[in-house]
């Protein structure tokens, strides 16, 4: 279990991801930003993105 899991962070994976070993990421909202991790390596590294950067990223997807 990772530190984020112990702290009660709720990870979400895209509804479009499959369970066939595809390259997926999970995200979790935390105070002031978003955490991102590889869904295949839950104990691996976590990237933290601030809210302004996350909103800018999402706006480019629309």
Cα separation, 23 vs 4, whole angstroms? 21
- The tally of domains found in the chain comes to 1
Would the CA dihedral through 47, 51, 11, 58 be positive or negative? negative
Is the model's pLDDT at 50 over the cut of 90? yes
Please state the length of the chain: 62
Let me know: does 11 contact 37? Beta carbons within 8 Å: yes
Strands of 33-38's sheet in order across: 12-13, 25-30, 33-38, 46-50
Q: What is the mean pLDDT of residues 9-38?
A: 83
Query: Which pTM does this prediction carry?
Result: 0.76
Cα separation, 56 vs 54, whole angstroms? 5
Domain range enclosing 9: 3-14+22-61
């Amino acid at each position: 279990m990772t530190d984020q899991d112990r702290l009660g962070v709720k990870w979400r994976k895209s509804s479009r991801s499959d369970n066939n070993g595809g390259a997926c990421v999970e995200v979790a909202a935390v105070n002031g930003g978003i955490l991102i991790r590889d869904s295949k390596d839950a104990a691996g590294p976590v990237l933290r993105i601030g809210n302004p950067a996350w909103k800018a990223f999402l706006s480019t997807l629309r």
